[in-house]
Every structure is written in structure tokens, then in C-alpha cells.
Amino acid sequence: MTITWSLLGKRFLQIGLIFVSLWAISSHPNTVLSAHSAYTGDAETYAKDYQVSLDEAIYRLNIQEEIGILEQDLQTKNSAVFAGIWIQHQPKYSIILHLVADPNQRIATYLKAHKLYALIDIQFVKRSYNDLVATQAQIQALSKVLKQPIASSITIKENIVEVYTENKSLLISQIQTKNNNLPVDIVIKEQSLPVAQTQWYAGNSLPGCTTSFSIKNNATGVRYIMTAGHCQDSSISPPFNPLPVASGGNLVLSYSFQNGSGYDYKVLTKPQASDTITNLVRDNAPPFYNHSITGYRFMTPTIGTYLCKYGKTTGYTCGTITSTTFSLNGTTPASYIEVLRSNTSSALSCYGDSGSPWYAGQIAYGVHTAGNNVPCGINSSLGYFMPIAKIFDHGYSPLLVP
């Protein structure tokens, strides 16, 4: 729900938009929240991660949607010079705007009237966002003829395209063998590639994944359960289809990133006719440890956006978006989201977390797909998810009512 209150604190007057839950009344600088607020758990975690007050944490989380709207506006109207936006959390909270140029300071003049102007830092770079997209597409096309898996991502902060491989020298050799020159705006890094995080038990064909957001069929209104598509991928042994009652209902449809798809989710019926499918999601806020989902992020989120998820293995973990153009093992389009953990003392995701819901307060962002590092542990710092908007392509949407 979006409202404007004339008596709120100075900063909320500045942004004008605030998401509130049934249990929360918030303001800045004097914010009062009950333990049941959808933002309470996220804000408390953010405040701890970045050593700021709860009030400041709530303010920063509230304006993330406004930053996303600004990003889409600038990209649409100034695509020739726009090079990306990202949210800097430390050492100074800022909205970093990358531009190739700003003829006659037209964009700077426009931004002076924007409610977030005081937070915006304009920096000039060499390549537009469209240039980077073209470079990544070139790499993706090349990857289809190579003999080893790669991943790639547009890195807004560095104004480059990063290519990830487990054998850098072999990849370079293969590129040269194909008589291809490396684009000047790519950097090849040698590291472990993201892996699906389905947990399999010895002798048990059920997947150990996590239930994601409840969804509905837009045409019929029928409610369904959702999780990660690769949890029943036939390339994993032993396969299963349809799912046994114990792990969900019958399989309705499924897409897996392991087949090169930009989708990684599956739709399941409820196990028993008497079961109830709701719009609740697990969190870390007592006493109920859940809250409702009342909205979703349809636009591509901004780099630096702070999100949280709940997985069956790692529980409640949070981090910031570092890429919105990640390609998992050559997936096309390159639209998976990469998240870097904010708490360096614990794993962001591990086996069994696939399907976890990624959210900010009551806003759904995506379905967890993969994580880095095997085996899971202190070095498991990255997570990858499919944007929730992807399910609209097949006639589904998140359930937003009880």
C-alpha cells in the first residue's frame, strides 16, 4: 500500500512514498515499529549489517522502490548515455549514477528537481549500458560453440562484462582457436561456477528444496505451490515426475536453468484437497515468524538493492544485489539476479535452499536458483535467483491476498 502522511518526519516528506503493513506505523527520524511489521526483520538485519539505526535502515529500505523507478526512467529516456545505477551502502549511503556523457547537463538539471537528488552521485564512464548488453550477447553467442561451461554478468560498478570459468587458460585458448578477439570491455575470472542447490538423500528420490511464493493462474484464479524448476530436472538422478504427495502435489509445469532456460521454477498442486495455500512468507520476526506478500517487483531491480530470503538450510539470510544480468551456464537471456551476502560470518545459501523466496518487506522479488562454493560453508557468499516477473510469461502471478 502506498500513502502520504503530512505529519511524518522530514525524510519521509522528502520521498513521499512509504510501504506500511497492517502492524506498522513508521516515520523518520522518529520511527515506531511493532515486531510484526513486514519490514521489521529486514530493517533490523540491515541495521546490524551496516551499523546504522533502525530508523535509518527503514528509510533506506523504503526508498529502494523509488530508486528503481528513477533507474527505469533514466534508462528509457537516455539509453544512449545511460550506463547504470547502483546503491552504495558504505562508507556513505549514495545512489551512484553512471553516464557516458551529459550534453548540456540536461540529465543533471533534471535530477536537481528529483526528491532523491541529495543522495545522487553522477560518475562518468566509457561504455553505455546498451554497449555492455551487446558485449554480453556476443559472449553468450560464443559460449554456445565452446567446450566448457561459462557464466557471465554485466558489472555496473566497474563498467565491464565479467566472464566466469573454471579454466581461464583453456577458455582463452578456445576463443583464440575460433579466431575470435576478446572485446576490450570484458574481464575473464577463474572461479567455481554457480551450482543448483537441491538436496538429495541416499535412496530417497524426493528433492530437498524450499517452497517459494504461492502463486495463482491469472486465467482461472486457481492457487498453486511454487519452487525451483531444477528440483525435478531429468538430468538429475534419480528423476521424478510427477512429484509424490509428500513433497507437494502433482507437477503442472516446470522449467530448469540447467537446460539453458531463463526460467527456473515449477508449479505444483496442493498435496491434499483440504490444504490451504496462503500469501505468507517465512521471516525472522517473532512471534509468528511470517508475514504476508502484498506486492511484487516487476521491473529489473537496482544494483545494491537489499533483499532477504528464507531457505530450509540456511534460514533467514540477507544481501545486496550485485548483478541483474547473470547468465547461469550460458542461460539465455542473461537475466538471473546475483546477491552478495551482507553478513560475512555465515553462508548466504546452501543445498536445499533452491526455491527460497527473495523479498524486501512485503514485496516479492524472485525464486532462489543457485549458490556458489561447494561444499557450503563460510565461503558461500553468493546467491542467484530468477526474477518473479518471469512467471507472468506463462500466465501466473504471485498470490497477494490471504
Same domain flag for 171 and 72:
no
Regarding whether 145 and 205 lie in a shared domain, the answer is no
pLDDT band (50, 70, 90) for residue 249:
low
Tens digit of each residue's pLDDT (9 = 90 or more) over 329-344: 777 788 999 999 988 7
Question: 201: helix, coil or strand?
Answer: strand
Domain boundary among 103, 124, 145: 124
How far apart are alpha carbons 88 and 92 in whole angstroms? Answer: 7
pLDDT surpasses 80 at 24? no
Residues 145 and 183 in one domain: yes
Poorest-pLDDT segment among 67-71, 129-133, 183-187, 303-307? 183-187
pTM: 0.78
Q: Do both 213 and 291 map to the same domain?
A: yes
What is the CATH number for 181?
A: 3.30.300
Structural domain range at position 107: 65-124
pLDDT at 171: 85
Residue 4 within a domain? no
Residues 270 and 338 in one domain: yes
- Residue 269 in any domain: the answer is yes
What is the rounded average pLDDT for all residues in the chain? 79
CB atoms under 10 Å from CB of 280, counted, come to 16
Is 223 inside any structural domain?
yes
Q: Identify whether 2 is part of a domain.
A: no
Grid cell for residue 345: 560470518
**pLDDT value of residue 23:** 26
* CB neighbour list of residue 211: distance below 8 Å, 6 or more residues apart: 225, 226, 227, 248, 355
Of 42, 62, 82, the residue that ends a domain is 62
Q: Of 147, 169, 191, which marks where a domain is finished? A: 191
Residue 49 is assigned to a structural domain of this protein: yes
> What is the distance between the alpha carbons of residues 57 and 78, in angstroms, rounded to a whole number?
31
What is the C-alpha to C-alpha distance for residues 143 and 132, in angstroms, rounded to an integer? 16
Assigned domain for 51 exists: yes
Specify the number of domains making up the chain.
4
Examine the domain organization and report whether 71 and 44 are in the same domain. no
Tens digits of residue pLDDT in 311-333: 888 889 999 999 999 998 777 78
Which letter does DSSP use for residue 183 in this model?
P
Among the ranges given (146-150, 221-225, 237-241, 306-310), the one the predictor scored with the smallest mean pLDDT? 237-241
Q: How confident is the model at residue 198 (pLDDT cuts 50, 70, 90)?
A: low
Q: What is the CA radius of gyration of the chain?
A: 21
- Per-residue pLDDT tens over the stretch 72-82: 999 999 999 99
Query: Are 104 and 231 part of one and the same domain?
Result: no
In a domain, 5, yes or no: no
Same domain, 366 and 395: yes
Q: Are both 246 and 274 inside the same structural domain?
A: yes
54-68 pLDDT per residue, tens: 999 999 998 999 999
Q: Quick one: 199 and 229 in the same domain?
A: yes
pLDDT of residue 233: 43
Residues 108 and 137 placed together within one structural domain of the fold: no
Specify the DSSP element, H or E, that contains 69. helix 64-77
Residue 311 corresponds to which cell in the numbers above? 531457505
User: Are residues 293 and 234 part of one domain?
Assistant: yes
